[in-house]
A = this chain, B = another copy of it.
Amino acid sequence: MSAQILSGKELSAEIRTQLKQRVAELKQEKGITPGLAVIQVGDDGGSTIYVNNKEKACAEVGIYSEVNRLPEETTQEELLALVEQYNKNPKIHGLLVQLPLPSHIDETEILKAINPKKDVDGFHVQNAGSLFTGLPGLIACTPKGIIKLIKKSGIDLTGKNAVVIGRSNIVGKPVAILLLNENATITICHSKTKNLPDVCAQADVLVAAIGRPEFVTKEFVKPGAVVIDVGTSRVDGKLKGDVKFDEVSEIAGYITPVPGGVGPMTITMLMENTVDAGEMYG
């Protein structure tokens, strides 16, 4: 293998050390301890793991955290009332409702109800609009973490071809806008794209956010490219990315592993957003 590994685990550890410092300063200088509230409805196994990891990460950097585990049958009104409480709670600077929600609850309504200044997931329409139009705001964690990983490679994105596979609101579209902000030429591909391998093979930076294990083979990759793997599918009990790591790592210049790449960055960016919110609006 020739590619250098872009380790999200390592970069996360560095950033968390800085965050610990910022949390300590914020406490000392303004008497503010940044606080994160997480609401989980129902007991989806994946969600429970994510929520636990978020709680641990808070403890690690010194963020105060509250986790609410509500029963599956919680009504939309009850959930909205809890969101409203946290919107007003001065101890809480970041609030997130773990998705997916049970089908009887309207996700869009819940996301809209979160105070945009506490919306550390960056999913509120106002934060999405701010990102899209270049205004300040809280930026979604996965795209934000991806940009930090790419920058870690040291490449200058100006004028580079960046290709994103996937057009979700959580990853594909926002990461494309962030790459555009870095002066890359951006292309968004998806299930309807023709000649997908050829389009991707022109990319200096390739972001795979499709959710299909090992979909991106070496035919998709320009020699020396930066390859970011956002996928996490469980196959026969093993975590697989969207990129066929063994063969792609032979020709890419930089590549993120799965696990240990984008995943840890997402949680660390959630911590960073909470500290940002504490500093800006605390």
User: Residues of A at under 8 Å CB distance from B?
Assistant: 108, 124-135, 158-159, 161, 167, 169, 173, 176-177, 180, 183, 185-190, 192-194, 199
Contact = CB atoms under 8 A, between A and B. Distances in A.
Contact of A173 (B124, B132, B189): B132
Q: Interface SS of chain A: helix, strand, loop or mixed? A: mixed
Contacts of A132: 128-129, 131-132, 169, 173
A253 B188 CA distance: 24
Contacts of A189: 185
A185 B173 contact: no
Contact of A125 (B133, B190, B194): B133
A79 to B, nearest CB: 19
Contacts of A133: 125, 128, 169, 173
A159 B125 contact: no
Contact of A187 (B169, B187, B192): B187
A192 B186 contact: no
A190 B194 contact: no
Nearest to A163: B187
A276 to B, nearest CB: 18
A262 to B, nearest CB: 21
Contact of A130 (B129, B130, B194): B129
A167 B192 CA distance: 23
A148 B128 CA distance: 25
Nearest to A173: B132
Given A127-B129, A132-B173, 4 more contacts: A161-B194, A183-B190, A186-B188, A187-B187
A167 B134 CA distance: 11
Given A177-B173, A185-B188, A159 B193 contact: yes
A187 B176 CA distance: 10
Contact of A185 (B124, B135, B185, B194): B194
Nearest to A158: B192
A187 B185 contact: yes
A188 to B, nearest CB: 5
Nearest to A184: B192
Contacts of A135: 108, 125
A185 B193 CA distance: 6
Q: Can you list the 9 inter-chain pairs with the closest CB atoms, starting with the nearest?
A: A129-B129, A125-B129, A128-B129, A132-B132, A187-B187, A185-B193, A183-B192, A159-B192, A133-B169
A144 to B, nearest CB: 16
Q: Which of A127, A128, A135, A183 has its CB near the most chain B CB atoms (within 10 A)?
A: A128
A220 B185 CA distance: 16
A169 B181 CA distance: 12
